[in-house]
Amino acid sequence: MSKLLDDLKSGAGDKDRRRQVEEWMRTLAEKYPEFKIETGLRDYYLAEAERLRADFDKASDLTEKLALGRSIESFLDRASEYDRRIRER
Protein backbone atom coordinates (compact mmCIF):
# COMPACT_ATOMS: atom_id res chain seq x y z
CA MET A 1 0.00 0.00 0.00
CA SER A 2 2.69 2.47 0.99
CA LYS A 3 4.68 1.66 -2.18
CA LEU A 4 1.66 2.51 -4.34
CA LEU A 5 1.12 5.77 -2.47
CA ASP A 6 4.81 6.64 -2.79
CA ASP A 7 4.64 5.96 -6.54
CA LEU A 8 1.58 8.20 -6.82
CA LYS A 9 3.24 11.03 -4.92
CA SER A 10 6.43 10.80 -6.96
CA GLY A 11 4.52 10.88 -10.25
CA ALA A 12 5.78 7.45 -11.33
CA GLY A 13 4.11 5.90 -14.34
CA ASP A 14 1.82 7.49 -16.86
CA LYS A 15 -1.13 9.68 -15.97
CA ASP A 16 -3.80 7.06 -16.78
CA ARG A 17 -2.21 4.43 -14.55
CA ARG A 18 -1.85 6.93 -11.70
CA ARG A 19 -5.54 7.77 -12.04
CA GLN A 20 -6.48 4.08 -11.94
CA VAL A 21 -4.41 3.55 -8.80
CA GLU A 22 -5.88 6.73 -7.28
CA GLU A 23 -9.45 5.52 -7.87
CA TRP A 24 -8.66 2.15 -6.35
CA MET A 25 -7.01 3.78 -3.32
CA ARG A 26 -10.04 6.03 -2.80
CA THR A 27 -12.27 2.97 -2.81
CA LEU A 28 -10.01 1.23 -0.30
CA ALA A 29 -9.88 4.33 1.90
CA GLU A 30 -13.67 4.36 2.12
CA LYS A 31 -13.96 0.63 2.76
CA TYR A 32 -11.10 0.38 5.26
CA PRO A 33 -10.65 3.69 7.12
CA GLU A 34 -8.63 1.94 9.83
CA PHE A 35 -5.66 1.72 7.45
CA LYS A 36 -5.44 5.52 7.19
CA ILE A 37 -5.09 5.54 3.41
CA GLU A 38 -6.62 9.04 3.46
CA THR A 39 -3.32 10.49 4.65
CA GLY A 40 -1.48 9.09 1.64
CA LEU A 41 -4.17 10.31 -0.74
CA ARG A 42 -4.06 13.80 0.77
CA ASP A 43 -0.29 13.85 0.32
CA TYR A 44 -0.66 12.61 -3.27
CA TYR A 45 -3.13 15.37 -4.13
CA LEU A 46 -0.79 18.00 -2.67
CA ALA A 47 2.17 16.55 -4.60
CA GLU A 48 0.17 16.52 -7.83
CA ALA A 49 -0.87 20.15 -7.29
CA GLU A 50 2.79 21.09 -6.78
CA ARG A 51 3.77 19.26 -9.99
CA LEU A 52 1.07 21.08 -11.91
CA ARG A 53 2.14 24.38 -10.35
CA ALA A 54 5.57 23.89 -11.90
CA ASP A 55 3.90 23.32 -15.29
CA PHE A 56 1.75 26.41 -14.71
CA ASP A 57 4.84 28.52 -14.09
CA LYS A 58 6.40 27.30 -17.35
CA ALA A 59 3.26 27.76 -19.47
CA SER A 60 3.03 30.83 -21.66
CA ASP A 61 -0.39 30.29 -23.22
CA LEU A 62 -3.28 31.77 -21.23
CA THR A 63 -5.62 28.89 -22.12
CA GLU A 64 -3.07 26.37 -20.87
CA LYS A 65 -2.59 28.36 -17.66
CA LEU A 66 -6.36 28.40 -17.11
CA ALA A 67 -6.64 24.63 -17.58
CA LEU A 68 -3.69 24.00 -15.26
CA GLY A 69 -5.11 26.40 -12.68
CA ARG A 70 -8.41 24.53 -12.67
CA SER A 71 -6.61 21.21 -12.28
CA ILE A 72 -4.54 22.59 -9.42
CA GLU A 73 -7.70 23.85 -7.72
CA SER A 74 -9.31 20.41 -8.10
CA PHE A 75 -6.34 18.63 -6.51
CA LEU A 76 -6.20 21.15 -3.66
CA ASP A 77 -9.94 20.72 -3.05
CA ARG A 78 -9.50 16.96 -2.81
CA ALA A 79 -6.51 17.34 -0.49
CA SER A 80 -8.55 19.66 1.71
CA GLU A 81 -11.43 17.19 1.83
CA TYR A 82 -9.16 14.34 2.92
CA ASP A 83 -7.48 16.61 5.47
CA ARG A 84 -10.90 17.40 6.93
CA ARG A 85 -11.78 13.70 7.11
CA ILE A 86 -8.48 12.91 8.82
CA ARG A 87 -9.02 15.60 11.46
CA GLU A 88 -12.57 14.40 12.14
CA ARG A 89 -11.39 10.91 13.07
Range in 5-14, 19-28, 52-61, 80-89 with the lowest mean pLDDT: 5-14
pLDDT at 64 (0 to 100): 97
**What residue spans of the chain are helical by DSSP H?**
2-10, 15-31, 37-58, 62-88
- For 25, the domain range is 2-88
Q: Using alpha carbons, select from 23, 28, 21, 29 the residue that is nearest to residue 5.
A: 21
Can you give the pTM of this predicted structure?
0.84
Among candidate residues 38, 40, 29, the one with its CA nearest the CA of residue 4: 40
Reply yes or no on whether the pLDDT at 11 is more than 90: no
When mean pLDDT is compared across 12-16, 20-24, 31-35, 59-63, the lowest value belongs to 12-16
Is the pLDDT assigned to residue 17 strictly greater than 80?
yes
Overall number of domains in the chain: 1
